Structure 1
Amino acid sequence: MREINEFITNQTGLSVNIQHKILISLLIVILLSVIRLVILRIVWRQTRTVKIRYQWRRNLSFIIPFTGIVLISAVWIHAFEEFGTFLGLFTAGIAIALKDPLTNLAGWFFILVRKPFTVGDRIQVGPHTGDVIDIRSFQFTILEIGNWVDADQSTGRIIHLPNGKVFLEPQANFSTGFEYIWNETKVVVTFESNWEKAKSFLEKIIQDYSKDVHLKAKKEIHEASKNYLIYYKHLTPIVYIKVIDFGVCLTIRYLCNPRQRRGSENIIWQEILKAFNKEADIQFAYPTTRFYKASEEMETPPSNH
C-alpha cells in the first residue's frame, strides 16, 4: 500500500493525506449510490403507486446529494471535525430535504390524535368534498361527491390528499359531532296565488317527512355539546315567507342526514307537485316582466311576457 502511495505521489505530486481523502470521498459516493438503489428497489417492491414512487425518488434526489456533500465536506474541511457542528448541519439538511414528508407525517399524527375526521366521515377539505375511505402515513383518500354532479352524490372519482393539508386548509366534517345538516328547499308561487294555503301544504308535507328527526337530532346535540359549543333553539322544520321580484318565496328549512339530502328533496318535491296540482288557486311562479299602460283602467289585469 505504501508503494502504491509513493508511486501516485511521484506521478501526480499528491500527498498521501490527499490520496486518502480522495479514496474516502469515492467510497462515500459509491456507498450513497448503493443505498439509493437499495431503497428504491424496496419501494418498487412494496408499492405500485406512481405518486409514492415519485415522492421517494424526488426526496432521495435531494437527500443523497446533500448527504454526500456534508460527508465529503467533513473529510476535506477541518471545520467539520467538530461532531456537534456536523450533526447539526446534517440534521438541518435532512429536515429541509424531507419537509413535505415530515409535514405529512405530522398531519397523520394530528389526524390520529385530534381526529378531525375518521374513515367513513363525509368531509370537505378546501375545494374537495367526499367520503373518507382511507387514511395512511402520508395521505388520506376520499371518494368525491358533487363537482360536476349537481347533488351530494358520488362522482366515482378517488382523490388522494396529503396529510399536511390539515394544517393548510379548513376542514368541514358532515358526520362527526352532529349527524344532521340543515337543508332548505325554495318554492315560489305567483302573487295572485293563495300563499297561505300553499304554506299550510308545505308545513304538512315537511312535518310528515321529518316526523321524529328533531327528537333524534336533539339527543345528538346533547352528546355533541360535551365537546363543542353547539346550541339550537328550534329543531323542528319551518317554512319561511319572503317576497321576491316575481312572486312569493316559501322556503322549507328542515334537518336531514347529509347523505340523504338529494333523496329528501326528491320526496318533498313529489309531494309538493301532487298537492299543488289539485289546487286552482296556487300556481308556481317564474321570472317575468310586467308592463303597465297608464291609459288602461285599474281593473284590467296586466299582461305577462
Structure 2
Amino acid sequence: MNVFDTAKDIRNTIDLGSLPDVYSRLLMTGAIIVVLIGIRFLYNSLIIRKIKNIKTKYHWRKAGDYVLFFAGLLLIGRTWFVAVQSLATFVGIITAGLTIALRELLIDLAGWLFILTRRPFSLGDRIEIGDVKGDVIDIRAFKFTLLEVGNWVDGEQSTGRIVHVPNRDIFRKRIYNYTIGFRFIWNEVSIVITYESNYEKAKKIVEGIVEKHSANLPEKAEQKVIEAAQKFLIYYSSLTPIVYTRIIDYGVKLTMRYICSPKMRRVTEHRIYEDVIKAFAKEDDIDFAYPTYRIFKNPEEGKEGLRKGGT
C-alpha cells in the first residue's frame, strides 16, 4: 500500500457523496492532517521519549517530521489533483506555481537540501555567516538557528541570544566554519615586556607555559589534518606551539601561537595569562610594558655628534 492508496482509504471511509466537491476535499484534507498529527504524537510518545541521548533524540524527531511532512504533501496534493494521474505532471504544476508565489521560500528549501547533502555545517558546529557568529543548534526546512557567541561578549563566549537565519543566506553570504575538517583553530596570545627586561628568559618562560596548555593537542591535530587532507588542501609543516618576537614602540612583544579547540579559546587564554603573570612576578629582571610618553632632550641625552648641533 502506498500513500495514494491511503488517501483513497480515507476518502472512502468518509461519506463524501452528498457534499460539494470542494467541501469533500476540504474535509478529507482535514482528516489527513488529523491522522498525521496523531501518528506524530504516537511516534514522539512511544519512540522518541525512550531515547536518552539528546542529539540522537533530535535527529530521530526531525527525521519523523520530514517523513510526515512529505507524506502529507503527497496525500493532500493527490486529494486536490485527482485528475492529475502523473506524479511528474503534478509536481510540475506545483513547482511552477510555487516558483512564482513563494520564490524566497523555495530558495530556503533549496538551501535546506544543500545543508543536508553538502553539509557546509552540522549541528554543534561553530560558524560565522554574515555578521552573525554562533553554534548551530537547529536546522529546519526554512531556517537554521544559532546560539550566538561574541558580539558584546569577549572571547567568543555565548551571549545567550538565539539567532534564526534563513537558509537562503548560505547562497548569499560567506560561511566560516570553525570545526569542519581540521576541527582546531590557531590562536595567538601576546604580551609586551620592557626593553630593559631579560627577554630571552621571558621567552623561555612563555614557551614553557604555552606548551603546557597545548599538551597532546599537536598529535590530535595532526591526525585531524591527515583526515581533512582527504577532502581539502590542508597542510601544516608544524603544529607545535611557537613564540614570536617583535619590537614595537614601547617594548618587546612576545606572541604565543598555538592550536586549541574553537570553544576553548577564551579558557586557554585565561589560563595562559594567569600563568604568565604569576611567573613574571617571581622574576626581578622581567617587567610588563605599556604605552608611555617620554620627553627626549637631545642636547642632554642625544649622541655627542648630534649635541654639537645645539638642538
Q: Same fold (TM over 0.5)?
A: yes
Structure 1, unaligned stretches of length 5 or more? 1-30, 47-87, 300-305
**Which of residues 155, 158, 164 in structure 1 aligns to 2:159?**
155
Following the alignment from structure 1 to structure 2, what is the Cα–Cα distance between the partners of residues 90 and 195?
72
Q: Deviations over 1:89-137 (max 9, x none)?
A: 9965541221100000000000000000111111111111111000000
Secondary structure at the counterpart of residue 134 of structure 2: strand
Secondary structure at the counterpart of residue 154 of structure 2: coil
**2:236 counterpart residue number:** 232
Q: CA RMSD in A?
A: 2.4
Compared CA separation, residues 166 and 279, structure 1 to 2 (3 A) = same
Greater radius of gyration (CA): 1
Compared CA separation, residues 91 and 144, structure 1 to 2 (3 A) = closer
**Which of residues 137, 143, 149 in structure 2 aligns to 1:139?**
143
**2:75 counterpart residue number:** none
Structure 1 position 98 matched with structure 2 position 102: yes
**1:278 counterpart residue number:** 282
Compared CA separation, residues 289 and 149, structure 1 to 2 (3 A) = same
Structure 1 position 185 matched with structure 2 position 189: yes
- For residues 163-174 of structure 1, the aligned pairs below 5 Å read 163-174=167-178
Compared CA separation, residues 222 and 286, structure 1 to 2 (3 A) = same
**1:206 counterpart residue number:** 210
Following the alignment from structure 2 to structure 1, what is the Cα–Cα distance between the partners of residues 181 and 107?
27
Q: Quote the offset at 1:297 in angstroms.
A: 4.7
| Contact 2:98–2:106 (Cα < 8 Å) also in 1 | no
Give the aligned residue type for 1:184.
E
Following the alignment from structure 1 to structure 2, what is the Cα–Cα distance between the partners of residues 223 and 230?
10
Structure 1 position 217 matched with structure 2 position 221: yes
Following the alignment from structure 2 to structure 1, what is the Cα–Cα distance between the partners of residues 250 and 298?
21
Percent identical:
52
Compared CA separation, residues 138 and 89, structure 1 to 2 (3 A) = closer
Structure 1 position 289 matched with structure 2 position 293: yes
Q: Quote the offset at 1:289 in angstroms.
A: 1.6
Structure 2, unaligned stretches of length 5 or more? 1-21, 38-91, 304-311
Give the aligned residue type for 1:155.
T
Following the alignment from structure 1 to structure 2, what is the Cα–Cα distance between the partners of residues 94 and 165?
20
TM-score, normalised with respect to structure 2: 0.67
**Which of residues 229, 242, 246 in structure 1 aligns to 2:246?**
242
Following the alignment from structure 1 to structure 2, what is the Cα–Cα distance between the partners of residues 204 and 144?
34
**1:253 counterpart residue number:** 257
**Which of residues 266, 270, 285 in structure 2 aligns to 1:266?**
270
**1:128 counterpart residue number:** 132
Moved over 3 A (4+): 88-94
Q: How many residues align?
A: 221
**1:15 counterpart residue number:** none
Q: Quote the offset at 1:290 in angstroms.
A: 1.7
| Contact 2:121–2:180 (Cα < 8 Å) also in 1 | yes
Secondary structure at the counterpart of residue 240 of structure 1: strand
Following the alignment from structure 1 to structure 2, what is the Cα–Cα distance between the partners of residues 113 and 297?
70
Q: Quote the offset at 1:296 in angstroms.
A: 2.0
